[in-house]
């Protein structure tokens, strides 16, 4: 099997890093789509291995945790028995992300559902990478409460930021996101620092 030379591989990787889609990368580099996808998997495995080794004993000031929804092949509501048989992984998926509020470093991430089990595994992985007492800010997803306590115990300053959304400016626009109406001052936390900084992330 022919392999790409180092220069072409670097060109493909640079396109993907810059945010180009797979199809755009194919057009720009002339490399076949399946080849680009195989290279993407190879590079991802190398990066994941490096991250797992290097991101240890971290001493951050503030961590933000969040999860983002997406889907593979189709949404859960459109997943039929025929699709499930042909594409078992099809359906909704959530990307769990932890990042440093100051440096934007992402030491821990996970793909899965939005269950308590997924939350616990994600937060436990983050806890294994940090050293010392940390501050965490999450959204109002209740799974975080048990996950944070199980992973950090009392050795954490934790705030759950609850956002209250108002009606969208244009209700007829199907995919318009509602604006934040207000953020209550009350946040769930235990063992807080005297002046706990609450990260108001998006």
Q: Is the same domain home to 145 and 196?
A: yes
Tell me the average pLDDT across 162-169. Answer: 70
Q: Is the same domain home to 75 and 18?
A: no
Q: Is the same domain home to 22 and 67?
A: no
Q: Is the same domain home to 83 and 175?
A: yes
Max CA distance (Å), the chain = 62
Separation between Cα atoms, residue 59 and residue 70, nearest integer Å: 31
Of 17, 32, 54, the domain-final residue: 54
Q: Is the same domain home to 171 and 76?
A: yes
Q: Is the same domain home to 83 and 114?
A: yes
3 state SS of 93? strand
Of 54, 69, 99, the domain-final residue: 54
Confidence of residue 198 (pLDDT cuts 50, 70, 90): low
Whether 124 contacts 140, CB under 8 Å: no
In the chain, the number of structural domains is: 2
pLDDT tens digits, 124-159: 999 999 999 999 999 999 999 999 999 999 889 999
Q: Is the same domain home to 87 and 161?
A: yes
Side-by-side strand order, sheet with 91-100:
108-112, 91-100, 62-72, 134-138, 156-160
pLDDT tens digits, 94-127: 999 999 999 999 999 999 999 999 999 999 999 9
Instruction: Return the CATH number at 27.
Output: 1.10.10
Separation between Cα atoms, residue 201 and residue 62, nearest integer Å: 12
Q: Is the same domain home to 185 and 105?
A: yes
Task: Provide the pLDDT for residue 186.
Answer: 47
Q: Is the same domain home to 64 and 103?
A: yes
pLDDT tens digits, 31-44: 999 999 999 999 99
168 or 148, which is more confident: 148
Of 54, 71, 89, the domain-final residue: 54
Q: Is the same domain home to 80 and 115?
A: yes
Tell me which residue range forms the domain holding 22. 1-54
Instruction: Return the CATH number at 112.
Output: 3.30.420
Q: Is the same domain home to 45 and 15?
A: yes
Partners of 6 in beta bridges: none
Residue 137 has phi, psi (to 5 degrees) of -125, 130
pLDDT tens digits, 46-85: 999 999 999 999 998 899 999 999 999 999 999 999 999 9
Q: Is the same domain home to 1 and 100?
A: no
């Amino acid at each position: 099997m022919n392999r790409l030379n180092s220069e072409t591989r670097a060109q493909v990787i640079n396109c993907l890093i810059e945010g180009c889609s797979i199809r755009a990368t194919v057009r720009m580099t002339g490399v076949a789509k399946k080849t680009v996808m195989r290279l993407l998997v190879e590079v991802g495995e190398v990066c994941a291995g490096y991250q797992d080794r290097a991101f240890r004993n971290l001493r951050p000031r503030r961590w933000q945790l969040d999860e983002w929804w997406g889907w593979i092949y189709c949404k859960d509501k459109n997943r039929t028995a025929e699709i499930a048989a042909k594409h078992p992984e099809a359906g909704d998926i959530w990307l769990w992300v932890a990042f440093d509020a100051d440096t934007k470093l992402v030491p821990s991430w996970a793909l899965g559902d939005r269950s308590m089990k997924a939350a616990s595994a994600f937060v436990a992985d983050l806890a294994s990478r940090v050293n010392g007492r940390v501050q965490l800010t999450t959204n109002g997803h209740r799974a975080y409460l048990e996950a944070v306590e199980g992973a950090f115990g009392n050795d954490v300053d934790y705030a759950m930021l609850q956002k209250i959304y108002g009606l969208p400016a244009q209700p007829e626009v199907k995919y318009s996101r509602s604006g934040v109406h207000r953020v209550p001052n009350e946040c769930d936390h235990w063992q807080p620092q005297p002046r706990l900084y609450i990260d108001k992330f998006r």
